[in-house]
Structure 1
Amino acid sequence: MNTTKQELKDPPAPKPGMDQALEGVFSEFVFDHPLLNNGSVYPHLHATTSDWEQTTLQQAQPYLPLKQDPINVTLGVQPLTTLALPAFKTVSLDKHLKYKRGYIINTGGSIQALDFAPKTSSIDTQPMIHYLAIGGYKEANVLHSFETPRQGHQSCIQLWKCDLTTTPSTEERNPLLDLVLLHDFGDARDLKWCPYGAYEEESTTDEDSAIAKLGILAGCFDDGTVRCLVVPHPDALRSRLGIDAGNRDPIYLKINHARCVFALPNTSVSTLSWGGHKKLAIGYSTGNISIWNMEMALATDHETHARDQHQSVRFMQSNTPVHDAGVQSIVWHGIEDPVNFVSTGNDGKLNALDIRDPSTTINLAKTRVIQYDAIWAGYRNKIIFVDGDLNFKEFSPQDYKTFKSSNVISYVTGAFASVASSEQHSFLALSSLDGILKLINSCIIKVKGKPRQQKILYKLIYNEQGNVYRYVDGLKRQSLDETKAMSGANNLLDHNISINKVCWNHNSKTSAWVASGGSNGLCRLDFAGVGTQWD
């Protein structure tokens, strides 16, 4: 049956009523994803004591952010409260906003990478406890380029333990810095967890060195490599080290070696993306995208050549020149062994590739600005990107030549930075360099005569004279017409308010939590759910 123009333009929502939600994510509209609930991959892999070496805070100092000064933050609506937030500490939003659930973390560095560790729901004994990996540059508010490789240097990845319970309580539930992974690979430019099935609470082997794993974390680093780490579950690690349950000081682990290392000569890596659990797509500053066989690399992780970057090319399946300049993002269509992805780059192009025919690149759109990110969620055959006029557009890949199915679903007032979708619901989180984080329901159907609405989750403002950051909350919904009428001068604002990265939590019970972070080192966790049936 041929697809009509209207069906291309407004496909039916995955669940009835989902296309009416504006304020946030309803629990009844969350998808039941079997891979996230019951998936099990790489059962032979466990964290081991030989991968890591525990160090002290004093020994870890050269790896930590360079400036660990408090950041002045203003919160609330009426009254406003200004506080000094120390490095590696948090503040709860509900103490300053009556109807807001969330936290702000001072990481100390410039945030470039954020990702929650997916947990397997069927074996998860603490479904409201989650771990957020944060990476980036050691110095805040400093611009960097990935066009040329840099030498490896001392840096770290922070792992924060987050209690995402939404029921009000008098108990202290602020996020805690649980693990700090120290390494000599340079700053982390991107971090992504294996999307499902790699979570453990107990080790299934009798080996003395084995520790239950939290997940498999892939990262691309300044030294031009991509490395995969089997991260120990913090609770299992504390038990193995004999640390008292009441001691919540961070554990500092120096990485001895990664399980597998991928590298190409004379290249700088810029981004990566898991294609299910079997493959990894890596983008380079040259515009190339390579596909690597994760299943083979992790199956031979005990062998020396799996950790030798000079021999890693044996795990590469393809290497295609997709862009004319550096690759900014790679987005697979869904998480269950996908074969298609879209990519964005510094050449302003939005391209698509089918890995079964890697020699053929399809150009879907081209603009005169850098394309930073895009969306192609598995639950919907719609590709979403930002055009040269800052319109946030969606279209069907069946119609990329004529764009007759294209819809403008949002508009950004500052340069676009990052967008995140969830495989659990239909909401998108969109961040920009002018300090604004928006929520958009991708399933909302356009009604004639009624402009689309977008929810403003918060706006970040910087007062240079007082050196104070203010989070503006409680903003009303904004129509596209109102957004377009705003000044375009926001493109010229200082980059210290930019929201560089945004991500959703991957599990159904906590899927309404969104994390966002920027150049100033502040990471904010927000509950974007609606209703009372979340905990």
Structure 2
Amino acid sequence: MASAVQEEGRQGEEVQGVCQDQTGCQEGSQSHVHNDTELLGDSGSGDPGGVNNGEDARDTGQDEQSSCQTLDSTQSLSESSNSHTPNNRVRRRVGRPRKHPEPGRPPASSVPSMPPPSTSSEKNEELTPKTQKKRGRKSKVELLAMALEKERERQEAGVPIENTPAEDLEVTSGGRPKRRAATVARKYLQALVEELSSHHGKSAQTESQPDKKVTARPTQKPGKVRKRKRRGSDQDSDDATADADFIPEIREEAESEGEPSEDDSLSLDDEDRDPRPRAPYQSVKGKYPGWAANGLPNSIMGPIWSCTAATKDFREERYSSWVFPEWIPTAKDWNFLSGREAEKYLPQEETSPAFKISREGLKEVPDLHRIPRFGCLPAHPERWDTVFFVGGPVWSMEWCPCPDGAMAANQYAAVYCNRGMDDRHKIMGTYSEPALLQIWDLSALSYDTCPAAPARLAYALALEDGCIRDMKWCPSGAWELPSTSRKSPLMPRLGLLAAAFSSAKIAIYSLPHPDALLAYRKTQNKGAVDTEQHIYQVHSVAVLKLGSIQADHDGRSGQCLCLDWLPVDPHNVLAAGFYDGTVALWNLNTKSVLQRVRSPNGRVVTYPYHCFLAHDSIVRVLCWCRASGDLLVTAGEDRKLKLWDLRKTYEPANTFRRYLSTEVCWPLHYSGVWVAEESCYATYGQHGIHYIDSGYLGFKPFFVAPRKGTVWSMSYSDWLNTCVLSDSTGEMIVVLLPDTSLNPANLKRTSDRRFPVHRAELVPFGSEKEDAEAREEGNGDASNGPIREPQTYGELVKKYCLHFHDMDLRTFKNAQQRPSVKRMLATETKGPMSLDKMPLESLHKVRLNPNLSAQSWVLSAGHAGLVRAHCLRAMHSPIVHKMAQESQAQFAAMFVSQGAAADESVATAVRHSTETVVELL
């Protein structure tokens, strides 16, 4: 301690002359100055000029001004003068330059005072620039002076001096105390972390080592850091900026291990993560190590398994077992049409275009097929895919939902197609024309078995309201067992289907099971029943229109182009978008006499309870949030994507300026939407499928799948966390989506998540020589001009056929080495496109099955009128199998006794529903 006191006293003596000059003590005489200078020159004979460039000389420059008065009180200072002789001029220091000099300020001239006899000849008399002291803390010289003062007072009072432990006072090699601001801050932060984690069972460990220092952890060498490098801090440095910032230990460990930099989150366990939305990135590789049985890493399949379990829990909690009991199909509303009567509703083409199918891994020569109208090919025994022909270009298609445990139930799909192959859509005004809505029975599909029976047309609805722009089934509670016994003329209900027409009308149909409808028809017709086709005219159970009782809107908002059913129980709200940008909301359970009236033709008409202007022009698509009844997303012709809170529709909750959107899906598990886009107005290579965060987590748009053509359709499965898309080039892609609750911008190698399902291309008949001869016969000499590509369906099918290329979907092992995947990656954003030829290969609609028993089946259809069904067998997992078995057992326990007697409550519900209807004259 005595040596430390002497060293501290020596440091105080070195700066006393500077302090005397800076505090204005300049009243000495010329003789005193001369004497002081001579003494300084004699004492500095060992060091010419009196300059000391050692460790102690560098440490006295910054804080000397503030310690002058303290040094005067502890030690007598010699008098100073304002002049000194030329022979003893003070030299400038040639040591290390200052890091933060004050620009434009000349250094203050200072004359050192006469040292006491006990001091040595190594003194610092350099010219030190005046540095402004930092506010809010004391300098080292002040601290040393205060320590000396306290020590002197203790000696005078006779109090023994306590020895300071070595670890409490850390000094440099020159004897100065180290700066401890960063160390204190790290200790404080460490204490906070230990306190917050104490409720997770870590309190015992933190209490046993409360004083553990963060700096005691061995640091990694700078050369071993693979990512961002930080400059190593010098513990002996005087740089004031070293105390300004500090980084906790957890962040240092994440950076030393090579984690993604700057935007990445802390490497904490699940229970220690900050619950606030801060857009972190947390890798799933550590959570799902290894490889799955389908050949993909578990880091890709892990989020899919998590979504499967979460979807099951959500459906049990928010789905309904029975809704709209008054809308039971009755045979009185169904009128059977003869062949002559149904002719004007049928599609014009009686035979499909020629096509052939090549399957990856099978060495077989593809046969050329032509299917009759409403015909089907049997399922392939090894790949399970099937195809059927509906008669025209398909623009609307939806699976019928059923309960999770109905494993043995048949799967149905509603399909609408144009009557003619060359028909063009008119959207400027409303119009009505004959149309046919087809209900297809695809038999009992399962994720692990081949279909036992081919697809067939169950029945079709002959309609007069024009083109069907969009249609949706009621999500749950509308399906019942085909064996349910009801009093005649009531029939068991298959589902409730809402359709949006080009006449600006929305109609809801209560559809029965095909077997019940066929049984009723046999009772009415005593003779033979035509089983080839079943065409019916039917009355809708509800008609939705814009306007009110006093003022009929009369189609002034234009066509209804999109609609969606409220996805959560009780499914009583339906939203629709119109040509003029209006979005309307209907309450299907309303009893208000102002919203529910009976028209002169006897039908019940419902008017909306709320309307608002969502876009400047056409509302192309809208979609509900799958977990809430208050949030809605819309996309319009104004190239804007808007998120709405229906409790305050005077302004959107969020707006995104994007390209023209063709379809939007809002996943159940994430706070964002998947958007499919047209190639029009899009930057080259930047259109396809994007994930857009709603604004809650603050993520940037994530580019999922690039395409070179227009993405006409997209479908998302909550069971599989998977998206399928189809485009104008005839290719259908499946994309295994990541966990978008984490920041997807840091996701690497997104191409490993995309796989082609099948691809369609137009190929000429026969060899190239025969094709050239056919062109010469049809168009004359080729040298007269360019060969004209066929512009109509009749011209095209004479020269071309469709060739489908299917990928082996049984496994994804070595998928990146397969020719189909390599071709997909090579032609995603580049390649030739025939824009002057009729796009017969284009795919307009694609839909994933929403039911648990058939969640891996997908339908795709396009301009050719061919609907194909594929099973994504590689997506099957033991988790799905176990969940399906549990749901089947639960379903059997619930419905084992149903159907024994007629449901009397249904008829009562029908009578009560008609009593509150007001007749409109």
CA distance in 2, matches of 1:279, 1:201: 25
2:521 paired with 1:521: no
Counterpart selection for 1:61 from 320, 337, 343 = 343
2:328 paired with 1:46: yes
SS in 2 for 1:434: coil
User: Structure 1 residues 142 and 19 mapped into 2: Cα distance closer, same or farther (>3 Å)?
Assistant: farther
User: Quick check: 2:390–2:867 contact (8 Å CA) kept in 1?
Assistant: yes
1:240 partner amino acid: Y
Deviation at 1:181, TM superposition (A): 0.8
Could you list the per-position Cα deviations for residues 467-513 of structure 1 after superposition, in whole angstroms to 9, with x for gaps in the alignment?
A: 31111112633699645552274777643222111212121110111
CA distance in 2, matches of 1:10, 1:147: 50
CA distance in 1, matches of 2:748, 2:307: 29
Could you list the per-position Cα deviations for residues 192-244 of structure 1 after superposition, in whole angstroms to 9, with x for gaps in the alignment?
A: 11111101226979653211111110001122211011111112222333379
Q: TM-score, normalised by structure 1?
A: 0.86
User: Structure 1 residues 253 and 328 mapped into 2: Cα distance closer, same or farther (>3 Å)?
Assistant: same
User: Quick check: 2:691–2:704 contact (8 Å CA) kept in 1?
Assistant: yes
Could you list the per-position Cα deviations for residues 166-185 of structure 1 after superposition, in whole angstroms to 9, with x for gaps in the alignment?
A: 5566x861100011111211
SS in 2 for 1:81: coil
What residue in structure 2 maps to residue 132 of structure 1? 413
Deviates more, 1:260-269 or 1:429-438: 260-269
2:692 paired with 1:392: no
Could you list the per-position Cα deviations for residues 505-534 of structure 1 after superposition, in whole angstroms to 9, with x for gaps in the alignment?
A: 121110111112112211111112324766
User: Structure 1 residues 438 and 233 mapped into 2: Cα distance closer, same or farther (>3 Å)?
Assistant: same
Which residues in structure 2 correspond to 1:227-242 (within 5 Å)? 227-242=507-522
Counterpart selection for 2:584 from 261, 281, 290 = 290
CA distance in 2, matches of 1:306, 1:116: 34
What residue in structure 2 maps to residue 87 of structure 1? 373
SS in 1 for 2:846: strand
Counterpart selection for 1:459 from 751, 754, 759 = 759
Deviates more, 1:469-478 or 1:496-505: 469-478
2:756 partner amino acid: I
Which residues in structure 2 correspond to 1:245-260 (within 5 Å)? 249-260=532-543
User: Quick check: 2:625–2:666 contact (8 Å CA) kept in 1?
Assistant: yes
Deviates more, 1:280-289 or 1:485-494: 485-494
User: Structure 1 residues 281 and 37 mapped into 2: Cα distance closer, same or farther (>3 Å)?
Assistant: closer
Deviation at 1:283, TM superposition (A): 1.0
1:519 partner amino acid: H
1:498 partner amino acid: S
2:795 paired with 1:498: no
1:421 partner amino acid: Y
Q: Tell me how many residue pairs correspond in the alignment.
A: 521
2:673 paired with 1:373: no
What residue in structure 2 maps to residue 115 of structure 1? 398
Deviation at 1:292, TM superposition (A): 1.1
Which residues in structure 2 correspond to 1:463-474 (within 5 Å)? 463=763, 464=796, 466-474=799-807
User: Quick check: 2:288–2:302 contact (8 Å CA) kept in 1?
Assistant: no
User: Quick check: 2:446–2:853 contact (8 Å CA) kept in 1?
Assistant: no
2:606 partner amino acid: S
What residue in structure 1 maps to residue 565 of structure 2? 274
User: Quick check: 1:36–1:197 contact (8 Å CA) kept in 2?
Assistant: no
CA distance in 1, matches of 2:438, 2:654: 37
What residue in structure 2 maps to residue 177 of structure 1? 457
CA distance in 1, matches of 2:280, 2:446: 41
Deviation at 1:66, TM superposition (A): 2.1
SS in 1 for 2:609: strand
Deviates more, 1:460-469 or 1:223-232: 460-469
User: Quick check: 1:25–1:529 contact (8 Å CA) kept in 2?
Assistant: no
SS in 1 for 2:520: helix
User: Quick check: 1:72–1:468 contact (8 Å CA) kept in 2?
Assistant: yes
Give 1 or 2: higher strand fraction: 1
What residue in structure 1 maps to residue 278 of structure 2? 4
Which residues in structure 2 correspond to 1:420-431 (within 5 Å)? 420-431=715-726
Could you list the per-position Cα deviations for residues 135-155 of structure 1 after superposition, in whole angstroms to 9, with x for gaps in the alignment?
A: 1321124331323211x2221
What residue in structure 2 maps to residue 414 of structure 1? 709
Q: TM-score, normalised by structure 2?
A: 0.52
User: Quick check: 1:420–1:502 contact (8 Å CA) kept in 2?
Assistant: yes
User: Quick check: 1:416–1:433 contact (8 Å CA) kept in 2?
Assistant: yes
What residue in structure 1 maps to residue 112 of structure 2? none
SS in 2 for 1:235: helix
Deviates more, 1:431-440 or 1:202-211: 202-211
User: Quick check: 1:288–1:323 contact (8 Å CA) kept in 2?
Assistant: yes
Counterpart selection for 2:622 from 322, 326, 330 = 330
2:385 partner amino acid: G
Q: Larger Rg: 1 or 2?
A: 2
CA distance in 2, matches of 1:302, 1:14: 54
2:439 partner amino acid: L
Deviation at 1:251, TM superposition (A): 2.1
Deviation at 1:312, TM superposition (A): 3.3
User: Quick check: 2:597–2:606 contact (8 Å CA) kept in 1?
Assistant: no
SS in 1 for 2:589: helix
1:452 partner amino acid: S
User: Quick check: 1:109–1:138 contact (8 Å CA) kept in 2?
Assistant: yes
User: Quick check: 1:330–1:341 contact (8 Å CA) kept in 2?
Assistant: yes
SS in 2 for 1:6: coil
User: Quick check: 1:148–1:268 contact (8 Å CA) kept in 2?
Assistant: yes
CA distance in 2, matches of 1:28, 1:86: 41
Could you list the per-position Cα deviations for residues 93-121 of structure 1 after superposition, in whole angstroms to 9, with x for gaps in the alignment?
A: 515xx4x2221121002211111111124
CA distance in 2, matches of 1:447, 1:117: 38
SS in 2 for 1:94: coil
User: Structure 1 residues 506 and 260 mapped into 2: Cα distance closer, same or farther (>3 Å)?
Assistant: same
CA distance in 1, matches of 2:714, 2:286: 20
Which 5+ residue runs of structure 2 have no aligned equivalent?
Answer: 1-274, 547-552, 764-795, 808-818, 885-921
User: Quick check: 2:542–2:606 contact (8 Å CA) kept in 1?
Assistant: no
Which residues in structure 2 correspond to 1:344-383 (within 5 Å)? 344-362=635-653, 364-367=655-658, 369-383=659-673
User: Quick check: 1:5–1:405 contact (8 Å CA) kept in 2?
Assistant: no
Deviation at 1:62, TM superposition (A): 1.0
What residue in structure 1 maps to residue 700 of structure 2? 405
Counterpart selection for 1:450 from 727, 749, 765 = 749
Deviation at 1:37, TM superposition (A): 7.6
CA distance in 2, matches of 1:34, 1:490: 49
Root-mean-square deviation over aligned CA pairs: 3.8
CA distance in 1, matches of 2:664, 2:307: 27
Deviation at 1:404, TM superposition (A): 4.0
2:715 partner amino acid: A
CA distance in 2, matches of 1:206, 1:53: 20
User: Quick check: 1:161–1:176 contact (8 Å CA) kept in 2?
Assistant: yes
